[in-house]
Amino acid sequence: MKLSVGRIFLIVGVLSFSVMIMAGYVYFDQRTNNQPPQLSKAETSNIIRENEEDIFKRSDDPVLGNPNGDVTLVEFFDYRCTYCKLVHPVVMTLLKEDGNIRYVAKEYPILGPVSTLASQAALASQIQGKYAAYSNALMAAKSLGDDQIFAIAKDVGLDPIRLLDDIDAHEEDINAKISGTIALAKTLALKGTPAFIIGDQLIPGAVSKANLELLIAKARSNNRKD
């Protein structure tokens, strides 16, 4: 399947980046003159509260788990991120076992054009009602290239030709969505993936199930106090 350049690349104004893998977190270094600042925990919490609509309540964000859950778990991820792939089954198991978590997926492709195409395709898959299955399958894939992205789509019951057409037809909206997530990540001074937000806390890196459970329990307790 031949893809046009316009289908693959999302222009986000980033000149170049390098990637480092450290301690459960894929870091990227945007080589621009306007890098995200280093924020304190209190500053990060304030920014989360100031941007809670964009973080927790955007109508165009894919939502998994329980849409009416009493706690919202937000994740910024890239389908080619090693640690995103490692933590993904942990998160999905937690959603199933708990049953009352609202999970917001932030498509945040930072690892090049293949990552961008995967996110474009995943967002477009919502039109065919297959986002959850497709996103899970993309995350489970050991490697991703253009061909694999559309082969996986077929495997989960998507029509790959229609998917490609939907990417084209909704390219402006999809790219605006991804650009918005990248801008939000910059506001939060994210340095890589995965990154989670629960309540007013930002948790970078792959997190254990036990730690996620503790953070969710704390958020529930705070919600009851409010």
Domain-wise residue ranges, the chain: 15-225
Give kind and range of the element (H or E) at residue 42: helix 41-50
pLDDT band at 167 (very low <50, low <70, confident <90, very high): very high
- CA-nearest of 77, 76, 74 to 56 is 74
List, for residues 113-164, the tens digit of each pLDDT value. 999 999 999 999 999 999 999 999 999 999 899 999 999 999 999 999 999 9
Say what the pLDDT of residue 6 is.
Answer: 46
Cis omega before residue 194 (within 30°)? Answer: yes
Domain spanning 15-225: CATH 3.40.50.1000: no
Q: What is the mean pLDDT of residues 36-60?
A: 91
- Contact (Cβ atoms closer than 8 angstroms) between residue 150 and residue 164: yes
Please tell me the distance from the alpha carbon of residue 118 to that of residue 177, in angstroms, as a whole number. 14
Q: What is the mean pLDDT of residues 183-194?
A: 95
